[in-house]
Structure formats: structure tokens, C-alpha cells
Amino acid sequence: MRPTKRRNLIFMISDGFGIASETMAREYVQTTNNYPLEWASTLDDLLVGTTCTHSSNSLVTDSAAGATAFSCAQKTYNGAVGVNHERKPCGTILEAAKLAGYMTGLVSTSRITHATPGSFAAHVVHRDMEDLIAQHMVSSNSSLGPAPVVDLMMGGGRCYFAPQPPNEAAGNPTKSCRSDELDLWQFAQQKYGYTAVSTRKQFDDLKATDKLPLLGLFTDSHMSYEIDRDAAEEPSLTEMTQKALDMLHTATTAQNTSAVPGFFIMIEGARIDMAAHDNDPASHLHDIIEYWNAVTAVRRFIDTHPDTLMIGTSDHETGGLTLGFDPEYVWHPNVLSPVKSSAETICSEIRPLSKDHRALVNVVTTKVLPKLLGITNATREEINGIVDGAGGSSKACKHAVGHVVSDRAHLGWTTGGHTGADVGLYAYGAGSSGIRGNKDNTHVGQLLADFLDVNPESVTPMLAHLKTVQDDFDETATDEKTGKTVRV
């Protein structure tokens, strides 16, 4: 049954974004711009409640289970992408919307095959099965109809659409992360009529009237942190959001409105989470501010299209961020201002120097600290901390860099992983006045379905025979503490 009333739904996910992170970004903007203390971000006056985030097998969720709670309105285990706790496919809000006639879209600053976007259009038993996720995202499940379920995709992750070895023809991805010879970049274009774009110029040349479906992937893996992003090479989250909304709106209004009742799109600020995993406060900050910019673009769209609802929340909090730590009741936002590079980018430069101690110390003292982190009076302890971190794992290096900045700013991190804290729930536009209070993440998923007047569970029987396990994927690992083999 097709809905009789036109409506659009924009679901925004700020991955790993907790209440403390919102406070940090707000107070940074307040103090560095001399705004009054009552200044509020674009998100602050949209706050309507909080979201509980636990999964079916842990009080601390991962992004896959968190996103599946939104997409399927069901609890599932950590690592599950679009499958329930019994490892069976569950129908998603995006698939139900597509069957009801809506146009659909996914936008993310991660690989488009990553856990969060993947959970809306794919069904695999483990989030690392990105080869199979990519297949699901550009293919048609025959039970759902002849066309692919996603009309528009923008983000990173070209490498999971390129064969092994890569197709060297012009316009194809030059790097492959796949374990097989499938050329999904060409398959999507030739079989399902996708327009595939991968460069900044191709993005800029896209018009609102261009035909869908569209596959726009602008990096081999994740898109750059906002602090590192080269605007001449990659569009921002805000630019992708604006372009996606314009194209979906044009596509749905160019046709008979009874045939196309509107659109559903999920927009994710993914790298907020990854910066928090790295305990990298400046990268975390800049991706939050860019997410705010995307929210502002969505608000402007809704103001001129009042049949649209935006719901925003996070799948979980990451890092256990604290503003201030003993013994002083203070934190210093200005410390973040001169930082010019992410810990990820810094470590990609200094870790290869770990075997040459003199060269490493020289780069850390003459470039990393004064020019990239804005620290001109580094202590011996800070220098040694980064040098020692560069000789360890990638995570150890990024934490070493992030902690030097964090300690000076008096910002604390309790973990390099996720926490079980509740996260903010935000809403704006049509029907938002009825969304209030603390909601379980599955309840948020049900709110999405109710607004579009669709039922994801009605899709589930159509997915019964879908392949959910990637060929040659090893689902086992050795537990470091017990030495036993466990399912990942």
C-alpha cells in the first residue's frame, strides 16, 4: 500500500557523538568567537530527548547493532548488519520505504559499506563482510522488485566496488579492497543504470535534475576528517547533504506525487566517532562543527518544504569524553584552535620514521608539535610521548598525539572505544512536536516507520533466502586473554 500523503524523512546520525561532545563544540565556538555564554548551536534548540543505545548482547553497543536498531526497529547483537539476533535478515525502513514508492538515499563520510549506512540496505552477519555489503547495496533483491533499493549514495569506499585486480579502464577505481573479481563499479552502471561519479569535478557538475540512481564515492576508503579535507578533492558532508536533498526532491516532484510520495534519506557524520576512538579532540571538534553545518542545511530545506521531518540522534557515545579533570575545575578550548592536522594524518607521517630515532625526533620537534599542533613550548615528556607512540601501533600513536592536545586542554577520555551512555535525540519539522523524552533506539526506528506509514517487518519474509555470509570470511578469532577460538 502506498501512503496517501506526501512526506519526506531525513534521518541524521552523528556517530559516536555524546552530550559532552556537543558541550565541548559549543563552548569552543562561544569562547573563540567571543559569543555570549547563552549562544546555542543549531542542534541545541532541536533537542527533544535522549536515546538509549544498548544492543541485544551488551549494554555497550557497536555501530552495526545501533544502526540496525534504527533501520529494523529491532535489537540485535554487536556486529550485526541488517540481521536480527538469530542472524536472519530483518526488513529495514529504507527497504520498506522503497516498496511503498519513496525515493531513498544514503550519505556518509565513512565508506558507504561501513556498519551504519550498510545496516539500512544490506544484510550480513558481521560488519566486516564489506564485499557482500557492497553487493547488496547496488544489486536488486528480486523479492523487492527489479530495481536496486537505494536511489542515491554518496560517501567514501570506492575500493569495495573495484575488482581484484582493479579494472584499469578510465574512470574506474584504482584500488581494490575486495577479495574477489567482481567489478561492482561497472556492474552498478551497466546492470542497474547507476550514474557513477568519483571526483570533485564530477560532483560539482551534478545537477538537481540529473537522473537517479546515483553512486557517488569520492575516496577509496573513509572520507577525510574535516580538519584534513582538501576542498578541491572531496565534497564536505554539508555539500553532499545539499546535493542529495536537491536531487531527491527534484526526482520525487518531477513525477506524479501519488506515484512517488516523497523520500527517505539517512545522513551520517561518521568521522565524529573515529576521531573519538583516536582520542583526537581537534578532529572530533571539526567534524562536529561540519555536522552542525549539515544540520543547518537540512533545517533550511525543511523551512521551505514543510512536509519534511528531520530526526537526529547517535548510535552511541565514543571515548567517554570529559570536560575538565582533577584537580582543577577548568578546560581550555583555545588549545584546540591552532591544531591543523588529525592524529591519523600525523601518525601516517611519523610512524614510518620509527626506525630512525634522530629523524623521528626532528620531525616531532620541528613540525608536528609547533606547526601541526600549535605547541611551541613542548615539554620533554610530550616529545617522548609522541616519539614512543610512533614506535607502537597505529592506535598507540594516535592516542599519544591526541593526549598531548587533550591534556593541555584539560579534556579527558575514559576509553578508546564506545560507552553505554545515553545520547541526544533531536527533531525538527513535520510531526516533531510529538517526539519527546527518553527513547530506546528501537523506538527511534519505530518513529521513522510510523512517520512514513511503512512497516519494515513486512519486508522481512521477502529476505528469507538472501545470502548473509560472505564467501571465504573467517568468523572466528583467538581470544587474547583465554587463547580460545571465538566467533567474531
Identify the H or E element spanning 240.
helix 237-253
For 230, the grid coordinates are 582538501
| Euclidean distance between CA atoms 121 and 104, whole angstroms | 10
Q: Is 86 helix (H, G, I), strand (E, B) or coil?
A: coil
- 283 within 8 A of 23, measured Cβ to Cβ: no
Burial class (CB within 10 angstroms; exposed 0-12, middle 13-18, buried 19+) of 427: buried
According to DSSP, the β-strands at 214-217 and 152-156 are parallel
Q: Would you tell me how many other CB atoms lie within 10 Å of the CB of residue 17?
A: 29
Q: Within 305-379, where are the H helices?
A: 343-350, 357-363
User: What burial letters (b/e) apply to 225-253, b meaning 16+ CB within 10 Å?
Assistant: bbbbbeeeebbbbbbbbbbbbbbbbbbbe
- 55 within 8 A of 77, measured Cβ to Cβ: yes
| Euclidean distance between CA atoms 280 and 275, whole angstroms | 5
Please, what sign has the CA dihedral across residues 286, 290, 296, 302?
Answer: negative
- Single out the catalytic residue among 14, 55, 63, 71: 63
Q: Is 198 helix (H, G, I), strand (E, B) or coil?
A: coil
Q: Estimate to the nearest angstrom the gap between the alpha carbon of 48 and the chain centroid.
A: 22
Tell me, yes or no, if 283 is annotated catalytic: no
- 18 within 8 A of 421, measured Cβ to Cβ: yes
Sole residue written with cell 538537481: 208
Among all residues, which ones are annotated catalytic?
A: 63
